[in-house]
Amino acid sequence: MSDWLDFALALTAFLSSHIIPRIGGLRDKLIANLGRAIYFSIYGALSLILFAWVINAAGGAPRIEVWPHFPWMRWIPNLTMPLAFVLIFCGMGQRSPNTLGAKREAEFDPANPGFTAISRHPLLLALLIWAGAHLLVNGELAHVILFGTFASFPLIAMWGFDKKSARLMGDKAEVFFAQTSWLSLKPLAQRHWWQQNARALAPRCLLGLLCWLSLLPLHEAVIGVWPFP
Determine the residue type at 212.
Answer: W
DSSP helix/strand/coil, 100: coil
Model pTM?
0.87
User: For 184-199, what is each residue's pLDDT tens digit?
Assistant: 989 888 888 898 888 8
Has residue 206 got a pLDDT over 90?
A: yes
Cβ contacts of 148-151, under 8 Å, gap ≥ 24 = 149/11, 149/15
Q: Which residues pair with 103 in a beta bridge?
A: 95
Would you state the pLDDT for residue 2? 63
Residue 124: pLDDT band by 50, 70, 90 thresholds?
very high
Phi and psi based region of residue 94 (left: phi greater than 0; alpha: psi -120 to 50; beta: remaining): beta
Residue 175: Cβ within 10 Å count: 14
For residue 173, how many C-alpha atoms fall within 13 Å in the half-sphere facing its CB?
A: 12
Determine the residue type at 143.
Answer: H
Has residue 104 got a pLDDT over 90?
A: no
Has residue 224 got a pLDDT over 80?
A: no
Determine the residue type at 58.
Answer: A
Residue 22: Cβ within 10 Å count: 10
Mean pLDDT over residues 149-175, rounded?
A: 88
Has residue 1 got a pLDDT over 60?
A: no
Query: Residues 8, 53: contact at Cβ < 8 Å?
Result: no
Would you state the pLDDT for residue 44? 83
Has residue 106 got a pLDDT over 80?
A: no
Strands 103-104 and 95-96: parallel
Would you state the pLDDT for residue 23? 81
Q: What percentage of the chain reaches a pLDDT higher than 90?
A: 38
Query: Residues 172, 109: contact at Cβ < 8 Å?
Result: no
